[in-house]
Amino acid sequence: MKIKQVEELVDITRKNIRFYEEQGLLTVGRSENGYREYSMEDVKRLKQIRLLRGLSVSLDDIRQLFSGKYTLEDILERQLTHLERQKESLDKTQLYCRQLLAGTPRLETLDVDGCLEQMDKLKQEGVKFMDESHKDSRKKKQQGALLGAGIMLFLTLAPVAAVFGISISTREHIPMWILVAFTGISVVVSVAIVAALVGRIKEIKGGEEDEASKY
């Protein structure tokens, strides 16, 4: 069956299905013409993935389960332990927020140094706070895409600028067909680069791995 049918049967987006394939969680056969051909076993596997992701089981643990390294019992026990730790951490974070709220604090008079010191103590006890050093991976991907597109545009437009520059500086007449050809090719390539950049930015904003984490 085709991916559109799989989307309807499993209620998982095409993007996530592709993502799970890339992660090695799903191996899809190919038809004679080279197109992906999904089977009911693939549908079953995707439903298993959706269930496990709904329980917040990590992709790595799912991979180990499918490879036979772990059993479902192993995975669920590990997940219960992980969730208990998360719950304990969340409870302590809530308690700390209540302690701050009880003092009816104002930002201007808040003992920030004391609060940070208390947070450090809680971290030592295993409480997880937001990592202030964490960098948004999507932002890094966007910057990489912009940098790559910028370099490609430069390499595309630089020869055209060089040709016009030589023509002006030497006052030599360059055949019109050469100028038109250089300009036309550069414009077409530049438009293609920009279109690819826009598509990549949309894909990054669409979520990729983050989108799959919903399941």
* pLDDT tens per residue across span 94-112: 888 888 888 767 888 888 8
Angle, helices 137-170 vs 176-206, to 10°: value is 170
Q: Name the one residue in this structure whose structure tokens are 């040709």.
A: 163
How much is the average pLDDT of 123-139? 66
Q: What is the mean pLDDT of residues 109-132?
A: 80
Find the range with the poorest average confidence among 27-31, 62-66, 124-128, 202-206.
202-206
pLDDT range class, residue 214, cuts 50, 70, 90: low
Contacts of residues 43-48 at CB distance under 8 Å and 24 or more positions apart, as own/partner, are 43/1, 43/6, 43/9, 43/10, 46/6, 46/10, 46/12, 46/17, 46/20, 47/10
Q: Tell me, what's the pLDDT at 167?
A: 67
Question: Are 116 and 171 spatial neighbours (Cβ–Cβ below 8 Å)?
Answer: no
pLDDT tens track for 21-30 = 988 999 888 8
The H or E element spanning position 169 is: helix 137-170
Q: What is the mean pLDDT of the chain?
A: 82
Proportion of the chain above pLDDT 70, given as a percent: 83
CA 176, distance to chain mean position in Å, is 47
Q: Answer whether residue 136 shows pLDDT above 60.
A: no
